[in-house]
Structure 1
């Protein structure tokens, strides 16, 4: 018996001694780690899978082989001669499918075909192929549900354009960088243009060459990520290459000979020690002014300004566009970004990323014509803007200059022990905008008794002594975010994820210099400065916790549920949840998926505390100064304006995915989003003859529904080359106010409404009702050709001041982009992109709402009067004063050289 026990012990010892532990990392052909790869010891059932960072650890017998497999990639089997085995998986068909997505789940990552949620994945190649100068414009021509547009009246909005997913406004899409929340901009859009009352992150500040891929979750995700994720989530994944680098030189010009663009970008990587890496990007660019003014109508000028017809016609004979400058402003930008990490040991890693962007924008206000700002009323103008004689004075055009600084940084620690994945991080980020107004004046006259005076013989505040350059102040926003995220695959079928987020936010309004705001005419002409009482520092904090559970009932049937609780220091708490499911059949060729969730969005500090005077175009009156009061001011209390509360949403999505073979895929998703107590910047309300103010209010409930379609076919052999096709589209079924407008009692008492026809149009019909993107690419030898067609559907406006019997409709238009790539050798690539090849421009027309409207259109004089009202007498003839449905200033030709090293 003792001999048998000894023999058994020796056999066991031999087996133990014959085993070894193998570790390694699995990456794709571009050096990106692949989570979720199945690893099996050949000939056994012993196996494991890679973690979030592509790492694995497994005990196997000596001289065994390991098989590595993952959907969309070629299976690899390798023998294990040592204790470290790193693997590179190549995608089926030789392309990197990038099917693994980390967005939309807090448990284990999944492939794009097995996710229960609709997610778009764009590679860096996809973004570069558009030929667009900035990241946000590249998305415009790749994602149908994503829209952005340049605003026709610049001011502070020239620093960044509003964007949105599914017509929900920029503040309802959460932006992540490597899975961590990016800071919002400090700008809140207050002009009467798309995006009014909203704020969002400055995604145009992110250098395209630093991006590995972008994952866009087209579904409500507040339960997973917190506030601002009502419409969806955009997760920007940064490059991790430690050995590959490239430099890109790019240039461009419009077909009109303006808008010149010149840029240079460097992306490179390096190892740090034996276990670390760093990837960095430096990007410098400058874009010149592109000016597209319209021809101004004299009759409208005479009516608006009460001017002498002879003076108006004489000036317009010299300047048919009334000196106006609008289109695309001059912009210079410097962008710096790093992304890195270091392996402490086999289970622990430190990671980090940081970015800094400086942007300077020069734009212009509306030209102050000599009959608008007459020298007869202000004789000193002849000296300030002429040679001292009245005849030399021809008006002036104030400039608006913006300096933007944007930064973000994250440092974190990841650990994988006993199957538990832990991620602890600290993120900070901020955005500051400082403004300068030049070539302007403070036209306030106040006599010694404090009364309005136009007599230059009396003591006055400014006049000839007015500054011509002003510092009207600016805004700043920053946040600090702490995250703890924990997850584990408890079994082969059941995964758990939980965590917490603490965030503190700070918003500051900088006071302008005294001359920019003082006086009975509100300070600097064109852009009034922030007064001391409207300036200050404001902050809040919140704490959130979440729990996420995923259960693979079978290999085809998935259930996923998430619940989240958030508590804010300034308005209370919210509890939201999400449930999703997916079912596959026909050997994974068909996937059905659906989700139902609730969500919330906290009012931004910008919306709570912004208070200012601003110049706006009022049809029939020209440019007038109006007030914006915040919800916590004494003025708001006196006017019966309530404090802001959070928005609440309910989001339903259902879809089907088809992948009959490795080259073809098709997904169709329906969505329905209801938002309760939606925050809007309302119409100015006249409470009394001396009190007309606009303010933010939880003014409406809304409902938005539509259909997304994404299809693609690749690896089609055509002659000696290979071709691929893509087709995607978004169609809005419903986008409207759901129920009556929620006017405060004080507004209802004066028989007015915070939402009029103009505001409703800006919120719901100012984006294309449909958008379709269809393209093809063909690779042959050293050449690559791409053709992309983007169809923008119609948009509808109810412009301020126009007849209620009419509407403005922008017509359906298609924009065609052409790209040609030539790989001169393994290192040098030359690319030519012609954007808007056919020089398609936005086009709008009046549409009659009824017989009375048709009568207006049958009368050229009445039609011309309506045209004057919506274009500021023709200054904005291409886009109308309130905006247009896509940003095109003509054909744009771009040439780039990329050198790899």
Structure 2
């Protein structure tokens, strides 16, 4: 297969292409030029956008057709039979679902309602209308199958939150920028939270003002794009306007007066020479801390840290009388970000164009570990703490505990350089993409409490410990080469084929010795030398894609792909899809079946570390992760990781029964074999450790629904409705667990920690200079079986006393979050927007659920119920959301104001 890849690569570079150049102007039905209209050569990925005066220029093959699409307008198809083609677009029923998309096929681009695959299309206007500060949070309130939320205990996860599509984890959605693979983050989620044991690309790093549209393929696409596309593909298309631009100033604050946000963003286009363009975005933002601690329970604290006696409770109460929240800080951390992005292109000749894009993002995050109270870290055990964090007076100490910080510096970059040629009907796209993510951590206001003596018998740490540490960090980089070729062979057949080469590097950076020696820095131990290093691998892939229009209404599409990895071998996957239109294209039936794979990430293969984590009833404990290539793994008989394999089935219908109304509904069924998970901690000869393994098979199925009804005349304005939803029908393990331990807690984090159903209902009304939007997001219930709760012993015999023990879980109650948006176009250039997110200050709310009679009896006892509540909220520190997570933001109402000025 490697020889085939090389031959295809060479063939792609020498394929010879004859064509014509078309230019023109696109306007609306009032004669106003439309900037940003998409023009695509039918059956190819060859496309351009109109500039600020509605002008465009495109080189196409002889006899081609051009498809003109623009958000909110009907699409138009014109035969390229003249060097000058001017087009007028009407607003009668142009919808997102009718948008021509380029994601999901290596051959012809097709509209969504008539495509063979379910694809969401979001414009930049859709994203900014949410009022959310970052791209990932905007998607949370626009795409029902997309979920992300800030984790209660931040640590490294404060730098980027785990996200997922269809409850499949962050590592099973492939992220593309202009059709090219974006690098993964270097962060591996190891906390007890959704996304545990996985990693994903940092989509929050992408400036929203740089995005023209987002295309989300809700279907397995490993055959087209390779690893990581089991759940779907998100293709982020960057802006291409070359003359106009805008400056946006935005601010915000929560209803509780914290979390202040200030940002400024500049997006500008310019011409480069006679035929080139450059679009650039510069974005700066600062978000202050928003703190949402709970009121800490004294008896729970006394039980955890002291002997639980009345005297102990009095000691705790003295501190809590001054600090009811035990000085704990949790919520949304302080974040500063600087984002830079360029997107450009130039026509080198009549048949060849150059394109490029590059981005660099820097983020600084300041967050906090759990506050070490004076009864948690008493002077009786560590008298030197008064010198570090008090006044140093032994007679009248002022020591009152200390709060370790966790500070992270993140840099993320990506760039692509490529060229496209069109000759004799052949479209060739060759590119090189680089990308990387680096995270470096700092811990301040902490101490190394280890009793380690030097040669003279003096403590190396404790009273001689530093209070600032550099625990190290991680980095991930990749280099990707792509060559893609496509051609319309006839009116019925189009083909695409290509190759991809990818080299990946993962680095764990060693921390300073004080951060890891002994027990390391209190709150976040550094990377030890034996756990640090640099690892790499490479892979080569080839694919072939054929689309056949049996009739003008009946399409079939097939793709096959083979990948060879340097570390674990090869994988061959395929995909078949079909679409049938009838009733004058008003109804489309579609379906697909495919196999897929996901290679274990380098993070999962090589991560080995000690970590601090909360254990219910035991406070903060140290546990470890051993990797699958370590001597410890060999002694424990832990096998090395293999790729996950998947089978995806999607069946759906798309319809546009009349002007202005369209909808799609799709059923999906995803089986993942040899699913890679980070298992439970287990007591071994190497201590309390966890590890990754191909542990079991899983099945996820559900329904996606999208409907729009727009351009309804009400008075002098236009009204629009949109409804979209995701229903999870099945999400569970379907095989025994092997090579690991996977209990109730991990089962919940993997399968039930995201809403089992989520719906979005939006209303938009535009009249004169005003635009109004009301968006309601319904978050269905989520459930957790959490660490420390009374629960059945999964290994106990049915009917035994252990099996019949009280069994509880927590359930987050369904809620509706309402967002209000008001836009005022003061002039043609100036727009003012006010967004009130979570208008009614709806907060997560959870309850205990008994799973047997003994559990019900326990909940009937207020004392025992309170004990259980303390276990999962760390004595009410995390009473709003529990320690393991929740289903939407706990910050409450947020007010956001932005001013946009167009140049």
| TM-score of the aligned structures, taking structure 2 as reference length | 0.91
* Pair 1:635-2:632 in alignment: yes
Q: Which has the larger radius of gyration?
A: 1
Distance in 1 (alpha carbons) for counterparts of 2:823 and 2:341 = 27
Cα distance, 1:21–1:409 mapped onto 2, change above 3 Å: closer
* Pair 1:427-2:427 in alignment: no
1:149-190 per-residue CA deviation (whole Å, 9 max, x = no partner) reads: 100000000000000000000000000000000000000000
Q: Counterpart of 1:486? A: 485
Assess if the C-alpha contact under 8 Å between 1:32 and 1:241 holds in 2: no
Assess if the C-alpha contact under 8 Å between 1:36 and 1:110 holds in 2: no
Cα distance, 1:652–1:74 mapped onto 2, change above 3 Å: closer
Distance in 1 (alpha carbons) for counterparts of 2:383 and 2:890 = 41
Distance in 1 (alpha carbons) for counterparts of 2:209 and 2:721 = 24
After TM superposition, give the deviation of residue 193 of structure 1 in Å.
0.5
Q: How many positions carry a matched residue from both structures?
A: 846
Assess if the C-alpha contact under 8 Å between 2:186 and 2:439 holds in 1: yes
After TM superposition, give the deviation of residue 687 of structure 1 in Å.
2.0
Distance in 2 (alpha carbons) for counterparts of 1:327 and 1:430 = 28
Distance in 2 (alpha carbons) for counterparts of 1:79 and 1:203 = 38
Distance in 1 (alpha carbons) for counterparts of 2:529 and 2:65 = 68
Distance in 1 (alpha carbons) for counterparts of 2:302 and 2:506 = 43
Q: Counterpart of 2:728? A: 732
Give the 5 Å matches for 1:179-328. 179-307=179-307, 308-328=312-332
Q: Counterpart of 1:16? A: none
1:395-444 per-residue CA deviation (whole Å, 9 max, x = no partner) reads: 00000000000000000010000000000000000000000000000011
Give the 5 Å matches for 1:773-852. 773-804=760-791, 805-852=807-854
1:273-302 per-residue CA deviation (whole Å, 9 max, x = no partner) reads: 000000000000000000000111111112
1:36 pairs, out of 32, 35, 41, with 41
Please state whether the residue corresponding to 2:84 is helix, strand or coil.
coil
Assess if the C-alpha contact under 8 Å between 2:821 and 2:835 holds in 1: yes
* Pair 1:553-2:547 in alignment: no
Assess if the C-alpha contact under 8 Å between 1:341 and 1:351 holds in 2: yes
Cα distance, 1:598–1:37 mapped onto 2, change above 3 Å: closer
Please state whether the residue corresponding to 2:158 is helix, strand or coil.
helix
Assess if the C-alpha contact under 8 Å between 1:107 and 1:497 holds in 2: yes
After TM superposition, give the deviation of residue 90 of structure 1 in Å.
2.2
Assess if the C-alpha contact under 8 Å between 1:508 and 1:535 holds in 2: yes
Assess if the C-alpha contact under 8 Å between 2:66 and 2:80 holds in 1: no
1:313-339 per-residue CA deviation (whole Å, 9 max, x = no partner) reads: 211111111110000000000000000
Please state whether the residue corresponding to 1:344 is helix, strand or coil.
strand
Structure 1 outlier segments of 4+, above 6 Å: 25-28, 66-69, 76-80
Distance in 2 (alpha carbons) for counterparts of 1:623 and 1:825 = 57
Distance in 2 (alpha carbons) for counterparts of 1:637 and 1:305 = 38
Distance in 2 (alpha carbons) for counterparts of 1:25 and 1:529 = 60
Please state whether the residue corresponding to 1:392 is helix, strand or coil.
coil
1:708 pairs, out of 688, 701, 704, with 704
Please state whether the residue corresponding to 1:301 is helix, strand or coil.
helix
Distance in 1 (alpha carbons) for counterparts of 2:639 and 2:667 = 36
Distance in 2 (alpha carbons) for counterparts of 1:646 and 1:203 = 24
1:625-681 per-residue CA deviation (whole Å, 9 max, x = no partner) reads: 111111111111122211111000000000011101231001110000000000001
Distance in 2 (alpha carbons) for counterparts of 1:305 and 1:21 = 79
After TM superposition, give the deviation of residue 310 of structure 1 in Å.
2.9
Q: Counterpart of 1:612? A: 609
Unaligned runs of 5+ in 1: 1-19, 39-48, 61-65, 451-457, 745-752
After TM superposition, give the deviation of residue 490 of structure 1 in Å.
0.2
1:72-92 per-residue CA deviation (whole Å, 9 max, x = no partner) reads: 646588999xx8425455254
1:507-555 per-residue CA deviation (whole Å, 9 max, x = no partner) reads: 0000000100002xx1100000001000000000000000000000011
Assess if the C-alpha contact under 8 Å between 2:577 and 2:590 holds in 1: yes
1:463-521 per-residue CA deviation (whole Å, 9 max, x = no partner) reads: 222100000000000000000000000001100000000000000000000100002xx
Query: Which range moves more in the overlay, 184-193 or 439-448?
Result: 439-448
Assess if the C-alpha contact under 8 Å between 1:530 and 1:612 holds in 2: yes
Distance in 1 (alpha carbons) for counterparts of 2:605 and 2:462 = 36
Assess if the C-alpha contact under 8 Å between 1:185 and 1:431 holds in 2: yes
Assess if the C-alpha contact under 8 Å between 2:682 and 2:688 holds in 1: yes
Give the 5 Å matches for 1:850-865. 850-865=852-867
Distance in 2 (alpha carbons) for counterparts of 1:640 and 1:616 = 26
2:409 pairs, out of 382, 403, 410, with 403
Give the 5 Å matches for 1:521-540. 522-540=519-537
After TM superposition, give the deviation of residue 306 of structure 1 in Å.
2.5
Please state whether the residue corresponding to 1:93 is helix, strand or coil.
coil
After TM superposition, give the deviation of residue 885 of structure 1 in Å.
0.9
Q: Counterpart of 1:718? A: 714
After TM superposition, give the deviation of residue 27 of structure 1 in Å.
6.6
Assess if the C-alpha contact under 8 Å between 2:508 and 2:534 holds in 1: yes
Q: Counterpart of 2:565? A: 568
Assess if the C-alpha contact under 8 Å between 2:117 and 2:592 holds in 1: yes
Assess if the C-alpha contact under 8 Å between 2:116 and 2:590 holds in 1: yes
Distance in 2 (alpha carbons) for counterparts of 1:886 and 1:780 = 32
Q: Counterpart of 1:104? A: 104
Give the 5 Å matches for 1:399-798. 399-447=405-453, 459-519=458-518, 522-688=519-685, 691-742=687-738, 744=739, 754-798=741-785
After TM superposition, give the deviation of residue 31 of structure 1 in Å.
2.8
Assess if the C-alpha contact under 8 Å between 1:135 and 1:208 holds in 2: yes
Give the 5 Å matches for 1:385-396. 385-389=389-393, 391-396=397-402
Cα distance, 1:218–1:89 mapped onto 2, change above 3 Å: farther
Please state whether the residue corresponding to 2:787 is helix, strand or coil.
coil
Distance in 1 (alpha carbons) for counterparts of 2:80 and 2:489 = 29
Distance in 1 (alpha carbons) for counterparts of 2:343 and 2:523 = 42
Unaligned runs of 5+ in 2: 1-18, 28-33, 49-56, 792-806
* Pair 1:174-2:159 in alignment: no
Assess if the C-alpha contact under 8 Å between 1:52 and 1:109 holds in 2: no
Please state whether the residue corresponding to 1:425 is helix, strand or coil.
strand
Assess if the C-alpha contact under 8 Å between 1:618 and 1:624 holds in 2: yes
Assess if the C-alpha contact under 8 Å between 1:244 and 1:900 holds in 2: yes
Assess if the C-alpha contact under 8 Å between 2:369 and 2:403 holds in 1: yes
Assess if the C-alpha contact under 8 Å between 1:22 and 1:59 holds in 2: no
| TM-score of the aligned structures, taking structure 1 as reference length | 0.92
Query: Which range moves more in the overlay, 590-599 or 68-77?
Result: 68-77
Please state whether the residue corresponding to 1:320 is helix, strand or coil.
coil
After TM superposition, give the deviation of residue 26 of structure 1 in Å.
7.9
2:900 pairs, out of 891, 898, 901, with 898
Assess if the C-alpha contact under 8 Å between 2:145 and 2:165 holds in 1: yes
Distance in 2 (alpha carbons) for counterparts of 1:252 and 1:31 = 29
Distance in 2 (alpha carbons) for counterparts of 1:724 and 1:881 = 40
After TM superposition, give the deviation of residue 68 of structure 1 in Å.
6.4
After TM superposition, give the deviation of residue 445 of structure 1 in Å.
1.2
Assess if the C-alpha contact under 8 Å between 2:61 and 2:424 holds in 1: no
1:82-106 per-residue CA deviation (whole Å, 9 max, x = no partner) reads: x842545525438575711000000
Cα distance, 1:79–1:190 mapped onto 2, change above 3 Å: closer
Q: What's the RMSD between the two structures over aligned residues?
A: 2.0
1:339-359 per-residue CA deviation (whole Å, 9 max, x = no partner) reads: 000011221100000000000
